Amino acid sequence: MDSGFQSQIHIIANSIPPLNSSAASLAILLSSSFNQTDEISFDEIETKVAPTLFLAVTTIPYLSQISYVGLEGLFFSYYIDGNQTLSTYANSSFSSRKKHVWYKQPVDNQTGKLYGEPVTSHSFNVVNTSWFQVALNHSWGYSSLENGWNNGGEPLFLTSVSLLGKGVIAMGVPVKRLTDRLGGIINLYGGSLSLITMDGKLLLNGIPNTKFIYANGTIFLQFLWPNGFKNFPCSNDTPETYKLDIDGKEYNVRCSTVEISGVQSVYALALSHEGMASFVYSKINYSHIALVVTMVFFVIPLVFFVSSMITNAQRETCLHDKLIKQMEATQQAERKSMNKSLALVGASHDIRAALAGITGFIDLCLANAAPGSDFEAYLKQMSLCAQDLLGLLNSILDTSKIEAGMMNLEEQEFNLADLIEHVVNLYHPVGMIKGVDVVLDPCDGSIIKLSQVKGDRGKLKQILSNILSNAVKFTVEGHVCVRAWVREHDFKPEKLASTRKGLGKYVSRLFSDKNEGNGDVKAESAVRQNRDSVEIVFEVDDTGKGIPKEKQKSVFENYVQVKETAAGQVGTGLGLGIVQSLVRLMGGEIGIVDKEFGEKGTCFRFNVFLTAFEIQGDAMYGGTNSSFAIRNYSPKLGICTPSPKLDGSQVVLFMQNIERRRVSQKFLERLGISVLVVDHCHHFPSALKKIQSKLNSLLNSSRRSDMSCRSDISSSSSKEMPLSAMEGTEHKLPFNRRKDTPSFILLVIDVNAESFSELWRIVAEFRRGLHSTCCKVIWLDKPTSPCIDPKRLDPDDEILLQPFHGSRLHRVIKLLPEFGNLSQGISSSSESSKHPYSKTRLRSTQRNDEIQEYVSSSDERYSKQGPSSPTLVHTRGRLKSKRKNEDSAESSNGEMPLFGKRILIAEDNKMLSILAIATATQLGADVEHCENGNEALERVCNGLKAQRNYDYVLMDCEMSPMNGYEATRRIRIEEERYGVRIPIIALTAHTSGTEALEAGMDAHLNKPLVANELMKVIESLQTKK
């Protein structure tokens, strides 16, 4: 520390350079311009010395005063006082008569010229001073500390050098400059400094309570205490350190020598311990803070890093743990599943055997059943059920396949409406036994319009059956309603309300979708990509117990059952899981639709994507159906432009079940049919009466207007109707007739609602009240327990078995005149059939066409053109062309019409024989080959002997050694003994085959052999036979 200060002091001291060299060189420079001997006059000084001096004072750093002093008292000096450069001079020597006076005059800072008025200044007797005397003898500069010329006489380090022994050049650097810098530095660190020249001139006294004492050429530092003083020698060459106590502070005082600008000096440096310490401490604080900050910056990321590492490690361990557990669980599950599958496979074998037995016996029964009887129908239904059961069994076995995403859709063309109806009808009897009505709601009729679709029929049926059976199973009262419609789309499937709510579930579904297996997803996308695909939405709505909200999600998981409802009901809980997988396989989604509060039951909704094939009404009938189509299309065209003859019909629905009533009514009304619904037996007669009265009033009015009445009608009608009412409506009826009054009344009566006899009575009464208006009654009967007495029925009435929906509903609609019924047709058909049941039961093929015909008519009449029809037309075109290809392919290589036939080919040309053999072989024949007539004869004879005749012989005519004609003749002779005639076909290169026929051959073919021609010939030979 001390040495640091010392070196600093030395550096500062050295920064004021000794001016010896510059003074000396200045002197040499000046001396060159003077003669050795001559006196130097003031003029010379002014002209020669002064500019050099000015140059020196402006260029040499720190220089504040420069002067020339002549021996004789001539004097010239520049000095800097503040910012002003001044000049002092004495232009007279001591020896001159003039008074030796010093003048002071300002100097131009730029040029060094004097200006202004010279002012008399205080004069010094410089020549007599000791330094001058000494300097006069020095040619190498003499340094001393002297006072300057300026007003204050401030101390200067003066360096003087003799000029030719006649004068002295003196250059001065102010002491103050040095002391200022030193003091500034030392005070900065809380220390203090005193400085004295060796010859006892004090430069700086910074240390309090001390002073320098100069005695005998030695400098002492004297410390003054209140009670005395103490001297310390200070001028030693070696630095000395003393410890002192000043004002209660401990100081280290160090004395040392330093040369400043050539002047030897002594300094004493006092540094306070505390001052040093506090300085250090203050610095330490800073460094501490810096250190701490650095540490903090270092530690924070470290901590962060370490902690994150630890968390990661923990998480990883946790994951490992879970993974291991999961793997164990998975393995266990796999084992379980494996065992289960094996068990299932084992069981299925037995079940299959049993089922095969059942179907076999059903077939046996079917063979014996009277065709067209109920028995046969039931048997057929049974057979279907058994097959379905087999299919279901297979599906259950396929569950694992589904889960692995390996199940594929088996696409085939089918009638969707038929399928749905079939499934619904299947469960109708089941529901009927429980008192639950299973209703098919055609909704907007879009399904009927769609009709032919392509898709996996079996799986769709399975889905529907599964949901429907569940619905029927868990419904105790009320109804189960199946709705289906085509969604006009946008391909995006609607989000089903109950399955997906909020983002979280959506995301989870995403994941679950992934888990579901790629197969599903792929199939889904494939299904969606199809441009002809239609989205069909199904709803199965029941009025059963319902599924609690919280369980709705889990019902689609395998083996999950809603426990509360499980009592008394059996099932594996596999159903809905499979259903969901299947629905997803078809590109759809299944979910439970939220019901209104207070509504009972559950509503499952799912959608599937199928390929639409055609829209009904596009006139797709051809071939075998053409006659039927023509018959049906002609009335349809009549309907399109409503003829005045055909007025709106009135349909009266009297049904027990609310839902069925509602659905039927809605559907009929949608078709523009006026429907009157009767919900209770008590209202039935009154409702009928209302219609009757309306009709009769009309009838009366029309009778009056066009005078075409019948007397018996008027009498009966007047009995039924109050005259006043008739009068009241009379005047407006003719105008409204066409719109308001039905020309045809159709009563649809559910026999289960009331006893048949009672109903029959009501209807009979109603009939009596009617006159010319056509009235037809459809009796709806239970298939299980028919309670209708057919004998009592009117010949026009029909009996329909429940369920009254789908094709049966369509058939009833067709009875209406505006939907194609020609009353003659009905009456004739009803007369021709002896038993009403046989009439009501519709043959499946016929039913199909009827529905289609009916829909096509309703389509044109009531619905807009489907937006997708152009694409459908396109599809059909494609299909047609494809079929054509298939046909041609079939005819070219598929068939083998000569299968099992033995053919002998006699041909000597190797190439032609190969050709013939190949042709015949491709047609399925068993070909033998020989090279000439001899061989042919031999082979034929062998065949005759062995009773293995050739079916045909193909004989080349020109062969050697025996030609074909000869061989044929001989064969004819040979075979006569056996009483057979083998057809021999000549192969000739000649166009006419007369020679061949003369030789006894049956036909001839031009070479080369062509399959078609060969077949033609063979066919003609067969017909000849």
Partner 1 sequence: MEVGQMQRRLVDYTKSLFMEGFLDAQFLQLQQLQDESNPDFVVEVVSLFFDDSEKLLNDLTMALDQPNVDFKKVDAHVHQLKGSSSSIGAQRVKNACIAFRSFCEEQNIDATLRCLQQVKQEYYLVKNKLETMLRLEQQIVAAGGSIPMIELGF
List contacts with partner 1 (CB under 8 A).
Answer: 892-893, 909-912, 914-915, 918-919, 921-922, 958, 989, 1007-1011
Secondary structure class of 654 (helix, strand, coil): strand
Q: How far is the CB of 908 from partner 1 (least distance, A)?
A: 9
Q: How far is the CB of 1007 from partner 1 (least distance, A)?
A: 6
Does an H or E element contain 385, and which?
Answer: helix 374-397
- What is the C-alpha separation between 564 and 559, in angstroms, rounded? 15
- Residue 843 to residues 372, 385, 779, 808: CA-CA distances in angstroms? 9, 19, 19, 11
Identity of the residue, 850 or 931, whose beta carbon is nearer to partner 1 in the bound complex: 931
CB of 372 to partner 1, least distance (A): 48
CA of residue 519 relative to chain centroid, distance: 18
Distant-in-sequence contacts of 369-373, Cβ < 8 A, 24+ apart:
372/838, 372/841
Nearer to partner 1, 162 or 913 (CB): 913
User: Which CB sits closer to partner 1, 763 or 1009?
Assistant: 1009
How are beta strands 142-147 and 436-441 bridged, if at all? unpaired
Amino acid at 860: E
Q: How far is the CB of 918 from partner 1 (least distance, A)?
A: 4
Least distance from partner 1 to the Cβ atom of residue 498, Å: 53
Cβ of residue 326: shortest distance to partner 1, in angstroms?
Answer: 46
- Residue number, 574 or 912, with CB nearest to partner 1: 912
| Nearest residue to 987 (alpha-carbon basis) of 995, 978, 977, 976 | 995
For partner 1, give the closer residue by CB, 609 or 965: 965
Minimum distance, C-beta of residue 965 to partner 1, in the bound complex (Å): 16
C-alpha span between 770 and 745 (Å, rounded): 10
Which residue number, 752 or 963, has a Cβ lying nearer to partner 1? 963
Smallest gap from residue 1008 Cβ to partner 1 (A): 3
State which residue, 449 or 1007, has the beta carbon closest to partner 1: 1007
Q: How far apart are CA 194 and CA 213, in angstroms?
A: 12
CB of 622 to partner 1, least distance (A): 25
Structural tokens at position 464: 């529907």
- Closest contact distance (angstroms) between CB of 932 and partner 1 is 14
Least distance CB 893 / partner 1 (angstroms): 7
Least distance from partner 1 to the Cβ atom of residue 1010, Å: 6
Q: Are strands 210-215 and 202-205 parallel, antiparallel or unpaired?
A: unpaired
CA–CA separation, 28 and 22 (whole Å): 10
Token look-up 């004069």 returns: 123
Rounded Cα distance, 678 and 661, in Å = 9
Q: Give buried/exposed letters for 169-208 (b at 16+ CB in 10 A, else e).
A: bbbbbbbebbbebbeebbeebbbbbbbbbbeebebbbbbe
Residue 97 token pair: 């008569």
Please report how close the Cβ of residue 1014 comes to partner 1 at its closest, in angstroms: 11
C-beta of 873 vs 1010, nearer to partner 1: 1010
Provide, rounded to whole angstroms, the least separation between the CB of residue 917 and partner 1: 9
CA distance 109 to 775: 142
Half-sphere exposure of 396 (CA within 13 A, CB side): 24
Nearer to partner 1, 324 or 896 (CB): 896
Q: How far out from the chain centre does Cα 296 lie? A: 45
Element (H, E) at 855: helix 844-862
Q: Which is nearer to partner 1, 873 or 914 (CB)?
A: 914
- DSSP letter string, 229-284: EEEEE---SS-EEEEEEETTEEEEEEEEEEEETTEEEEEEEEEEHHHHHHHHHHHH
Both tokens of 367, joined, read 């063979």
Task: Outline where 267-373 has alpha helix (H).
Answer: 273-368
Query: Over the range 867-889, which residues count as b (16 or more CB within 10 Å of their CB) and which as e?
Result: ebeeebeebbeeeeeeeeeeeee
Instruction: With beta carbons less than 8 A apart as the criterion, state whether 56 and 27 touch.
Output: no
For residue 987, the minimal CB distance to partner 1 (Å) is 9
Contact 456, 409 (CB under 8 A): yes
Q: What is d(CA 487, CA 866) in angstroms, rounded to the nearest whole number?
A: 12
Q: Which is nearer to partner 1, 357 or 894 (CB)?
A: 894
3-class DSSP state for residue 491? coil
Triad 460, 461, 462: Cα angle to 5° = 90
Instruction: Give the residue with the Cβ less far from partner 1, 323 or 918.
Output: 918
Nearer to partner 1, 428 or 1007 (CB): 1007
Do residues 670 and 812 make contact, with C-beta atoms less than 8 angstroms apart?
no
Cβ distance to partner 1 smaller for residue 400 or 921:
921
Shortest Cβ 922–partner 1 spacing (Å): 6
Axis crossing angle, helix 374-397 with helix 273-368, rounded to the nearest 10 = 150
Query: What whole-number distance in Å separates Cα of residue 76 and Cα of residue 69?
Result: 7
Choice between 190 and 993, CB closer to partner 1: 993
Task: Compute the C-alpha angle 267/269/271, nearest 5°.
Answer: 175
Based on its alpha-carbon atoms, the radius of gyration of the chain, rounded to whole angstroms, reads: 67
Please identify, using beta-carbon distances, which residue of 403 and 931 lies nearer to partner 1.
Answer: 931
The nearer residue to partner 1, 790 or 894, going by C-beta atoms, is 894
Residue ranges of the alpha helices (H) in 474-569? 502-515, 518-529, 563-566
CA pair distance 468, 474, nearest whole angstrom: 10
Token representation of residue 905: 């080919």
Task: Write down the least CB distance from residue 968 to partner 1, Å.
Answer: 19
**Longest pairwise C-alpha distance within the chain:** 197
Closer to partner 1 at the Cβ: 686 or 991?
991
The least distance separating partner 1 from the CB of residue 1018, rounded to whole angstroms, comes to 17
